[in-house]
Chains A and B, each alone.
Chain A
Amino acid sequence: MSYANVSLKQRSFGETMRRGAWWAQPLLVFLGLSTFLVYSTWAAFQGTHYWLDQNGANYLSPFYSPEIFGSSPHAFFGSKPAWWPSWLLFSPALLVLWAPAGFRLTCYYYRGAYYKAFWADPPACAVGEPRKGYLGENSFPLIMQNIHRYFLYLAILFILILAHDAWNAMWFSDAAGSKHFGIGVGTIVLTVNVILLGSYTFGCHSLRHLIGGFLDEISKAPVCAKSYSCVSCLNRRHMLWAWTSLFWVGFSDLYVRLCSMGIWHDWKIL
């Protein structure tokens, strides 16, 4: 379309007439995401202290769930497979973490946040940018963000597995090996984790579209209309769920890890 008759100068990086600490929010996002990135990478490569079976507890770190291969009793297919190349570092987390990482990386909220905080594109609203060229999500590589809904399908599967882990965390083994219901601090930590992750996942913009948003006459499909309304309700606080679930999933891993290492002790409430 040939619309423009516009000749305007681009401002230099950081140039703005805005007052106040416009840089504070992108800085907080940068620090928050960087901290999580560093911790989760470190934790994923450890390959140890990711489950707790002391005092009858039955906790598995969400970074390592589902555990496809691994040395804990939670592993689906036993320990590290023999065919795994010896030169390749093995950790059960590395087999699964790419899916939730991809879901967050392509999430509409995080995209807006990290484009600002990590790429200064723009650094903040109405603030000058460092680069002249701009491709947006119109061409490779960022056009790949359009696969978000595929990561959503995987994320929903992960929520079901994490809910099963939280259920397992409610069953403690006694000395005779039989299971009985109980609640420890770890049970609460893992249950809150799945609730927060669920609220984030089920408030996803792609889900909102797929569940009913794609319809122009949604009233003709009452189930879609009700589901759309529920997802929209969660979606209105998507940023809140994104941050709380990110913090809590990291804390859940830390809790299981420190208990497993004997630094913290899981307190059994019931």
Chain B
Amino acid sequence: MRTAVFKIWRGDENGGNFVDYTTEISEGMVVLDAVHDIQAKQANDLACRWNCKAGRCGSCSAEINGMPKLMCMTRLDELPLDEPVTIEPMRAFPRIRDLATDLSWNYRVKKRIKKFKPRPPDAPDGTWRVTQADIDRVREFRKCIECFLCQDVCHVLREHHKHEEFVGPRFLVHVAGLEMHPLDTEDRLTELKRAGGIGYCNITKCCTKVCPESITITDNAIIPLKERVVDEFYDPLGTLLKLFRPKS
């Protein structure tokens, strides 16, 4: 049977290093299978989050050969196995142990975003009427599995650690899903510009590249939000024209 070498980062918040593990591999295996095999036979104390093994839960996010990926969706036959495969925890978040990182910052950010606030119901039975075309645009954003790979690859968080000032691509997608929703009446643009720090995004499209759900994060969520911020704060001509636009 063929074998492959995996360099897995072992350590905690105080530091650590890569440890080499050689394990048997077979056709159809993904990186998470190899990690489980190593965990079962060679390193019972290896910490690693996982749940569905099907790319649905977003738990097994890690950096494989330097790129943020889901371990359960990265097939070994996609990787060059003539050299060791490196597996390390996400760099944008504090390390807890081995491959597990502290993601709690993300949940704190989400709590502060203004919630969905629908307009009054369209029908007496308390329901609304929405056309399919209008809802299709925001459906893409609902595909997010919160794996936080986009947060991890974003250099504003990863390299510059602007966690205090920038919410990151995941929450820009979340805000886009709310702001563009045909029923929503809440205004989040001021919050997006100030506390959300949308201006920090410099459109590298790395978030789009790593999204396992193929959400077009930059083109369909972030740039349209940037344009809405321009409407509100940086477009004097548009503001002037709005004064003459008939009120709907």
Contact = CB atoms under 8 A, between A and B. Distances in A.
The answer to whether A and B belong to the same complex is: yes
Interface of A: 1-8, 10-11, 16-19, 108-109, 111-112, 115-116, 121-122, 125-126, 128-129, 132-134, 136-139, 142-143, 146-150, 205-206, 208-210, 213-214, 216-219, 225, 235-236, 238
A150 B235 CA distance: 9
Contact of B203 (A108, A125, A213): A108
B94 interface: yes
Given A8-B91, A218-B134, A1 B109 contact: yes
- The CB with the most chain A CB atoms within 10 A, among B108, B179, B202, is that of B202
B199 A137 contact: yes
A122 B223 contact: no
A138 B199 contact: yes
A3 B109 contact: yes
23 contacts: A3-B163, A6-B93, A8-B92, A11-B159, A17-B66, A109-B203, A111-B203, A112-B203, A112-B218, A115-B204, A122-B204, A125-B210, A126-B67, A126-B153, A126-B158, A134-B156, A136-B201, A138-B200, A146-B226, A210-B227, A213-B227, A218-B137, A219-B134
Interface residues of B, number: 65
A126 B156 contact: no
A10 B159 contact: yes
B163 A6 contact: yes
- The CB with the most chain B CB atoms within 10 A, among A8, A126, A132, A137, is that of A126
Given A137-B202, A205-B223, A219 B131 contact: yes
B160 A125 contact: no
Contacts of B134: 216-219
Contacts of B226: 146
Nearest to A136: B200
Interface of B: 63, 65-68, 80, 83, 86, 88, 91-94, 102, 104-105, 108-109, 112, 131, 133-134, 137, 153, 155-156, 158-165, 179-182, 184, 195, 197, 199-206, 209-210, 218-219, 223-224, 226-231, 234-235, 237-238
Contact of A8 (B94, B223, B224): B94
Nearest to A147: B234
A132 B161 CA distance: 10
Contact of A5 (B67, B83, B94, B237): B94
Contact of B66 (A3, A126, A238): A126
Given A6-B93, A136-B199, A126 B206 contact: yes
B201 A137 contact: yes
B161 A10 contact: yes
Closest 10 pairs between A and B when the two form their complex, measured CB to CB: A17-B66, A138-B199, A18-B66, A4-B163, A125-B206, A209-B227, A136-B200, A112-B203, A146-B234, A134-B160
A214 B105 contact: no
B63 A126 contact: yes
Given A111-B202, A136-B156, A3 B108 contact: yes
Nearest to A123: B155
B66 A112 contact: no
B219 A235 contact: yes
A108 to B, nearest CB: 5
Contacts of A108: 203, 223
Contacts of B238: 149
Nearest to A119: B202
A55 to B, nearest CB: 46
B89 to A, nearest CB: 11
Nearest to B9: A17
B227 A112 contact: no
Nearest to A229: B133
Contact of B162 (A17, A111, A116, A134): A134
Contacts of A218: 133-134, 137
Nearest to A122: B155
A116 B63 contact: no
Contacts of A10: 159-161
Contacts of A1: 109, 112, 164-165, 195
Nearest to A121: B202
Contacts of A138: 197, 199-200
A129 B153 CA distance: 13
